[in-house]
């Protein structure tokens, strides 16, 4: 059991200053550079923000709990004056003139923006391995816990190549939070892109209800499914971030109009009123026996504590992958149409005609994954195919969403499922299959929540046989984040997930590390 | 030779008169420096999202009501995809599935002959009105092999008005468009000035024999005035007839009207048979409009559009105004038509009528024959007239009071055009144009004339 230091309280009381905090994080980022979690480190601006925060604390005018807290943001969010690349050649060097609403909100509340985190190109992928800046390494690859448990296949093999992936596509954000370089990070979640890497990296990953948090400034993958995701080291912190970011944004017409009231999570002690649903279809093909066992153990945990645990059915789950692929690629094809090299971003040197310039720019700017999805999407949107594919998929989507409605209407409060099929794969193994195959496999447990727009959260549960994190997922009713997070917090308390013991880092910089390791900030 | 029936339909794009664009806050302004009215959204910067402009919706509802359409209480937005330099996002946001207004009609008047002596009323069905984004402008600089792109216009709100193929010739199309233009200007929903690109008309033309199905149609674009619209359509009808009579076929193509040459030519840059890959616009929820019945009690007034509220506040439409003028002043329908056809002329007429004792039936002649022809001759608008309503009324009063003859009045008017600031009375005095009222004096003058022409008088008396 470890004490969780309250960094915010420490800041308020002056036990640590925002500048010190920022410097430590920046130093840690440097010493964990091999993780490749960050694409851009905004050192100068971060220190400036920390200074300003310090001034506010000195004057007793702090902006709130986030004032002075170092955060990181996935590189598909627009940040004014700081490069936004989406890990793509298309936007290398692109400096956006505006801040995404969520970024602006963080800055307005005094958060210190350390930098932009790595991802799969344009958020397409489930490994954070397919971006132009290279793959992100899971910090757990470098822990006492992992090394102890893993068996190198070939003794002559460099330890380095045994590292495991973070999962994706918000792998950089997950790695950043997991390795203590920041206290919270923003990711995005379209089919599981926040929850998947959060589970693999042993951190909390929250996907809010669609329409709760503004997407203005989030470079879209699938407009009808994307949400900004929140990655933190504990559930309380996720609630704080949610409170800071949620609410109607006039710049995003898909955000709900209702007022959002930030909440503090109660400490749930009595779960006897709770009804937990276990969807049978989430016992998916390929689910590791380990995770199956953990899932079962978790269900028992609730049962033994007095909650009602029932098996439920979401019968259309098995169609979700195909449905997702049609709708996702169609929207991708549409959203990527703006990248023509004309107004911003990469422009090819090809000058023969506008058309040839477009074609060359897009061939040079996009990787195979992006181009593949654009082609598929355009195929599904052709007049002769539209009814058969796109409209059909929309109908199936409705059925998938209705599955959840029915289950929640029957009295179930929260669904409990695994987040991933297994623990994190070694990079060399992961890249044996192509992006599309991996995405199809890995998204199965997470994407239905995106199709239905429901809130979902992954909570680090236990270490696998290999010493790697495994998370379990809770899915809640629309806009019932308070209930969802309350239950998640109770669960988090029960499982007491171990703190990561980073080895490599200790070697490089022992002093800094000590202060970081307990860190939740709220 | 069997007779041919020409069939003409129109697709009209009217730029909405609003301060800002359809989905973004940048300004709408004609002839501003290139790329000076471009928001992040207009430039399609990644991560930007559309936000619907309320004023644009109101303009479309007004227009739909004025055209007797059913207003759809729920309409949807779609993306229409194609690649072009003036379309930054690679798609246009439009309303393809469910537009804001459908099934209306427009009545317009036509002269049977050229003399404006017999008017006939026709109707064209309005298929639908949809809201959509305008594109930017691209200028091809062939000498330097480059294309210059100006995005000022990109994202400006348009109402596309689709008129069914109920028209038969250039004249009908021109009259229909003219009437639409007047309606839009009266509503204020669009300034509809063709020369400034605020009203753009594409014509769909085909011909067929009676009893046979409609022929292949061509689309005629690049028409810059109502006059050219009529010419382009009539040319195209002729071209198609000749082509078919010579055993040729009509291609379903897009043709541009060359106003200098007076004919239509196949468009060089045509998009061909494009598949626009329509897809619902995911960033805009369905557009919901209310009427008094469906309006929820607790709705925030700012966020809601009430169709009935708008209907109650519609200004008087041209057709109604014309009828009123005829009724009130006893003028002919043709007169009323011309009055409304000239911006400000009806107001001018009514103002003069108020200030003079001369009957409106007589005043109208002075307005339509003298005033209007002068203005036309000198390419002046009514607003620019050097003769004010006051001056003209003053002159007409002199005439009405028999202080001058009608010939003299015309002379005075000619003098008034010079705009030298003299009143009619001053001119009359200057040029000694007063009518002699004194009976005795008149007799003396007549006698003097007769006395001076004895021989002629004798010849006349003898027959």
Those of residues 43-82 in A touching chain B at CB distance below 8 A are: 77-78
Residue A340 lies in a domain: no
CA distances from A260 to A66, A185, A413, B1, B215 (A): 18, 21, 21, 75, 59
Spatial distance between the Cα atoms of A216 and A224, rounded to a whole number of angstroms: 13
Q: What is the pLDDT of residue A512?
A: 44
Q: Judge whether residue A67 has pLDDT over 60.
A: yes
A216 touches chain B (CB under 8 A): yes
Contact B279 A390 (CB under 8 A): yes
Say if the ipTM goes beyond 0.85.
Answer: yes
pLDDT exceeds cutoff 90 at A433: no
Position A511 pLDDT exceeds 70:
no
Strand partners, A15: none
Interchain contact, A343 vs B44, CB within 8 Å: yes
Mutation site for B-interface testing, chosen from A76, A343, A385, A386 by largest number of B Cβ within 10 Å: A343
- Say if the Cβ atoms of A354 and B147 lie within 8 Å: yes
Lowest-confidence segment of A165-174, A320-329, B55-64, B439-448 by average pLDDT:
B439-448
**What CATH code is carried by the domain that includes residue A211?**
3.90.1300.10
- Domain residue limits at A301: 6-148+163-320+392-508
From chain A, pick out residues whose CB is under 8 angstroms from the CB of B51.
250-251, 253
Per-residue pLDDT at B271 exceeds 90: no
Which of residues A410 and B140 earns the better pLDDT score?
A: A410
- Which of A97, A222, A382 shows the shortest C-beta gap to B277? A382
Chain B residues with beta carbon closer than 8 angstroms to that of A390: 279
Q: CA B176 to CA B107: how far, in whole Å?
A: 8
* Residues 6+ away with beta carbon under 8 Å from B417: B374, B386, B387
Cβ–Cβ below 8 Å for B90 and A338: yes
A178 falls within a domain: yes
Confidence of residue A517 (pLDDT cuts 50, 70, 90): very low
Which pLDDT score, from 0 to 100, does residue A430 have? 93
How far apart are alpha carbons A100 and A80 in whole angstroms?
8
Q: Is residue A82 part of a domain?
A: yes
Does the pLDDT of residue B270 top 50, yes or no? Answer: no
Of A169, A376, A439, A522, the catalytic one is: A169
Q: Do B47 and A96 touch (CB under 8 A)?
A: yes
pLDDT at A110 over 90: yes
Start-to-end CA distance of chain A, whole Å, equals 18
pLDDT above 70 (res A504):
no
Q: How confident is the model at residue B404 (pLDDT cuts 50, 70, 90)?
A: confident
pLDDT of residue B408: 86
Tell me: the pLDDT tens digits for B297-321? 877 656 789 999 999 999 999 999 9
Chain A residues within an 8 Å CB radius of B282: 222-224, 254, 331
Higher pLDDT, A151 or A65: A65
Nearest-angstrom CA–CA distance, A77 and A186: 9
Q: Is the pLDDT of residue B289 over 50?
A: yes
Active site residue A74: yes
Q: How far apart are CA A430 and CA A129, in angstroms?
A: 9
CA distances (Å), B210 to each of B3, B5, B124, B458, in order? 7, 6, 20, 70
Cβ within 8 Å, pair B277-A354: no
- CB-based burial of residue B416 (10 Å sphere; 0-12 exposed, 13-18 middle, 19+ buried)? buried
For the residues A71-90, what does the mean pLDDT come to?
A: 98
Active-site residue, selected from the candidate residues A31, A53, A62, A74: A74
What pLDDT does B438 receive?
74
Chain segment A135-168, per-residue pLDDT in tens = 999 999 999 888 655 555 555 445 567 899 999 9
Does a structural domain hold residue A440? yes
Counting the structural domains of chain A, the total is 1
In B, which residues are within 8 Å of A97 by CB distance? 40, 45
Does the residue A89 lie in any domain? yes
Q: How many CB pairs under 8 A join A and B?
A: 100
A118 in a structural domain: yes
pLDDT exceeds 70 at position B114: no
Distance CA(B202)–CA(B266), nearest Å, equals 14
Query: Cβ(A181)–Cβ(A32) under 8 Å?
Result: yes
Segment B23-31 shows an average pLDDT of 94
Contact A103, A75 (CB under 8 A): no
Based on the residue annotation, tell me whether A193 is a catalytic residue of this protein. yes
Structure tokens at B311: 């209907």
CB contact under 8 A, A78 and B282: no
Q: Please say if the pLDDT value at position A196 is more than 70.
A: yes
Mean pLDDT rounded to a whole number for chain A: 92
* Nearest chain A residue to B280, by CA: A331
| pLDDT tens digit sequence for A492-501 | 999 999 999 8
Q: Report the alpha-carbon distance of residue A35 to residue A27 in Å, rounded.
A: 14
* A positions 333-372 inside 8 Å of B (CB): 333-334, 336-340, 342-344, 351, 354-355, 358
* pLDDT above 70: percentage of residues in chain A: 93
Q: Is residue A115 part of a domain?
A: yes
CB within 8 Å of A263: residues ≥ 6 apart: A239, A243, A482
Contacts of A338 in chain B (CB under 8 A): 44, 46, 88-90
Rg (CA), chain B: 28
pLDDT at A510 (0 to 100)? 42
Residue A339 lies in a domain: no
Q: What is the pTM of this model?
A: 0.91
pLDDT band at A437 (very low <50, low <70, confident <90, very high): confident
The pLDDT score that the predictor gives to residue A151 is 54
Label residue B116 by pLDDT band (50, 70, 90).
low
Q: Residue B143: is its pLDDT beyond 70?
A: yes
Q: CB neighbours (10 Å) of residue A518?
A: 15
Catalytic-role residue among A173, A193, A422, A522: A193
3-state SS assignment for residue B208: strand
Q: Do A381 and B277 touch (CB under 8 A)?
A: yes
A460, A469 contact by CB (below 8 A): yes
């Amino acid at each position: 059991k470890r004490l969780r230091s309250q960094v915010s309280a420490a800041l308020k009381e002056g036990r640590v200053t925002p500048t010190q905090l920022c410097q430590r994080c920046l130093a840690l980022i440097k010493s964990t550079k091999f993780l490749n979690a960050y694409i851009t480190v905004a050192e100068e601006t971060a220190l400036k923000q920390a200074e300003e925060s310090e001034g506010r604390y000195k004057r007793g005018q702090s902006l709130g709990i986030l004032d002075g807290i170092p955060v990181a943001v996935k590189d598909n969010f627009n940040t004014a004056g700081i490069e936004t690349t989406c890990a793509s050649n298309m936007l290398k060097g692109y400096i956006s003139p505006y801040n995404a609403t969520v970024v602006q909100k963080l800055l307005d509340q005094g958060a210190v923006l350390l930098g932009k985190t790595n991802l799969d190109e344009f958020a397409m992928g489930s490994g954070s391995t397919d971006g132009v800046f290279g793959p992100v390494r899971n910090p757990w690859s470098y822990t006492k816990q992992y090394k102890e448990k893993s068996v190198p296949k070939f003794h002559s093999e460099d330890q380095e190549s045994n590292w495991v992936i973070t999962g994706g596509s918000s792998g950089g954000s997950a790695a950043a939070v997991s390795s203590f370089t920041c206290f919270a990070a923003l990711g995005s979640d379209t089919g599981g892109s926040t929850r998947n890497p959060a589970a693999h990296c042993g951190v909390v990953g929250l996907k809010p209800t669609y329409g709760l948090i503004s997407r203005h400034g989030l470079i879209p993958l699938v407009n009808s499914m994307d949400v900004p995701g929140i990655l933190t080291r504990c559930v309380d912190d996720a609630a704080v971030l949610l409170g800071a970011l949620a609410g109607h944004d006039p710049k995003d017409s898909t955000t709900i109009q209702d007022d959002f009231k930030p909440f503090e999570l109660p400490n749930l002690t009595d779960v006897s009123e709770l009804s937990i649903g276990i969807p049978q279809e989430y016992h998916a093909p390929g689910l590791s026996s380990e995770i199956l066992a953990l899932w079962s153990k978790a269900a028992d945990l609730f049962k033994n504590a007095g909650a009602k645990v029932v098996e439920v059915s979401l019968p259309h789950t098995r169609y979700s992958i195909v449905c997702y692929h049609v709708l996702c690629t169609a929207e991708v094809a549409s959203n990527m149409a703006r990248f023509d090299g004309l107004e911003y971003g990469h422009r090819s040197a090809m000058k023969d005609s506008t058309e040839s310039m477009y074609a060359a720019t897009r061939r040079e700017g996009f990787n195979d994954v992006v181009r593949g999805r654009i082609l598929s999407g355009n195929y599904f949107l052709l007049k002769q195919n539209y009814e058969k594919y796109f409209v059909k998929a929309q109908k199936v989507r409705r059925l998938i969403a209705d599955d959840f409605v029915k289950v929640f209407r029957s009295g179930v409060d929260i669904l409990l499922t695994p987040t991933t099929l297994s623990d994190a794969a070694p990079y060399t193994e992961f890249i044996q299959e192509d992006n599309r195959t991996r995405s199809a496999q890995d998204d199965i447990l997470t994407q239905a929540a995106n199709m239905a727009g429901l809130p979902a959260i992954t909570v680090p549960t236990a270490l696998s046989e290999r010493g790697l994190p495994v998370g379990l997922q809770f899915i809640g009713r629309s806009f019932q984040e308070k209930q969802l997070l309350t239950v998640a917090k109770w669960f988090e308390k029960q499982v007491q997930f171990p703190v990561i013991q980073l080895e490599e880092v200790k070697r490089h910089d022992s002093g800094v590390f000590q202060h970081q390791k307990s860190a939740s900030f709220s | 030779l069997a007779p041919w029936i020409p069939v003409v339909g129109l697709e009209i794009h009217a730029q909405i008169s609003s301060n800002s664009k359809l989905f973004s806050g940048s300004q709408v302004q004609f002839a501003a420096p290139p790329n000076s009215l471009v928001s992040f959204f207009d430039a399609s910067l990644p991560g930007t999202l559309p936000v619907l402009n309320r004023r644009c919706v109101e303009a479309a509802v007004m227009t739909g009501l004025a055209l007797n359409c059913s207003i759809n209480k729920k309409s949807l937005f779609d993306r229409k995809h194609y690649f072009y330099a003036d379309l930054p996002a690679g798609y246009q946001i439009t309303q393809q599935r469910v537009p804001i207004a459908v099934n209306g009609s427009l009545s317009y008047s036509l002269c049977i002959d050229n003399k404006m002596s017999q008017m006939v009323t026709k109707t064209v069905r309005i298929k639908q009105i949809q809201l959509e984004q305008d594109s930017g402008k691209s200028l091809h600089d062939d000498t330097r092999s480059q294309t210059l792109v100006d995005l000022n216009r990109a994202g400006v709100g348009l109402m596309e008005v689709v008129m069914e193929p109920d028209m038969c010739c250039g004249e009908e199309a021109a009259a229909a468009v003219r009437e639409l233009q007047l309606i839009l200007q009266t509503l204020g929903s669009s300034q509809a000035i063709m020369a400034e690109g605020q009203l753009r008309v594409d014509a769909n033309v085909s011909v067929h024999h009676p009893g046979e199905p409609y022929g292949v149609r061509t689309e005629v674009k690049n028409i810059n005035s109502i006059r050219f619209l009529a010419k382009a359509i009539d040319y195209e009808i002729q071209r198609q007839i000749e082509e078919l009579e010579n055993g040729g076929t009509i291609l379903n193509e897009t043709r541009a009207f060359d106003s200098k040459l007076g004919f239509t030519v196949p468009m060089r840059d045509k998009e061909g048979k494009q598949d626009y890959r329509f897809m619902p616009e995911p960033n805009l929820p369905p557009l919901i409009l209310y009427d008094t019945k469906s309006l929820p009690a607790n709705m925030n007034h700012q966020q809601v559009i009430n169709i009935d509220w708008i209907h109650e506040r519609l200004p008087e439409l041209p057709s109604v105004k014309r009828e009123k003028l005829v009724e009130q002043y006893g003028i002919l329908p043709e007169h009323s038509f011309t009055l409304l056809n000239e911006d400000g002329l009806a107001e001018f007429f009514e103002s003069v009528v108020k200030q003079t004792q001369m009957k409106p039936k007589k005043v109208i002649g002075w307005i339509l024959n003298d005033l209007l022809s002068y203005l036309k001759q000198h390419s002046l608008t009514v607003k620019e007239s050097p003769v004010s309503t006051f001056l003209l009324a003053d002159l007409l009063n002199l005439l009405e009071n028999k202080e001058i003859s009608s010939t003299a009045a015309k002379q005075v008017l000619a003098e008034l055009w010079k705009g030298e600031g003299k009143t009619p009375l001053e001119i009359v005095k200057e040029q000694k144009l007063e009518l002699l009222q004194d009976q005795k004096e008149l007799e003396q003058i007549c006698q003097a004339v007769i006395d001076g022409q004895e021989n002629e008088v004798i010849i006349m008396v003898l027959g």
